[in-house]
Amino acid sequence: MPTTNATNQGVVKFMPVKSFYDPTHGRDNDDIMGEMIADIFGDLPKPQGVGDWPRVHTAIRRDGLFIVETSTLSFMARLSFCPEQTDAGDYEIRYLHRPVRLERGRVVEVKPVAENEKDVRLSMLTPFPTRYKVDTVGSDRPHEKRVWLVGLNSFRIVDETDGSVSDS
């Protein structure tokens, strides 16, 4: 579904793999106990919203490769990945606080997120027409593993052969 609103291209969030697979990682014990009590009484966990996630300011698909860029006051990040070649692509995160730090790495896996996804860690992406979970590993030791969640409303398609550009 094309959109012309450049400020609403989508969202992207990255996190250490531990934070994605272990919902208690780095969390307060009171929060964890509250969720455990809710589970006991049958309250299902609700998917988190994406309202505070970094907004995508560049989303391009060139020869099958997505290039997604975002920035906040504390970092700038670029992720490139290919859904057809799930180990193709790379990332770069430039942390802007002093001292400025650069992290780079490569993509190791890309998985599309289903339209009817039930996993609460991914279901917040279902409103987006284009949605992926991308796993990466850092180039430098300790080879930080990250999970990137990408939800796109639109992206530009750039054809390298004829130089044409279209919106999706």
For the segment 97-117, what is each residue's pLDDT rounded down to a tens digit? 888 899 999 999 999 999 999
44 located within any domain:
no
Tokens of 8: 């609403």
Is 121 within the bounds of a domain?
yes
Q: Dump pLDDT digits (tens) for 59-100.
A: 999 989 999 999 999 999 999 999 999 889 999 999 998 888
Strand partners, 71: 76
The answer as to whether 149 is a domain residue is: yes
Domain of residue 13 covers: 6-36+52-167
pTM, 2 dp = 0.79
Query: Around 79, how many Cα atoms within 13 Å sit in the side-chain half-sphere?
Result: 30
Q: Is residue 29 part of a domain?
A: yes
**Closest alpha carbon to 14 in 123, 135, 103:** 135
pLDDT more than 70, % of the chain: 76
Number of domains, the chain:
1
Q: How confident is the model at residue 19 (pLDDT cuts 50, 70, 90)?
A: confident
**Does 80 reside within a domain?**
yes
Question: How many CA atoms lie less than 13 Å away from 20 in the CB half-sphere?
Answer: 17
**Is there a domain that residue 42 lies in?**
no
Average pLDDT over residues 39-47: 53
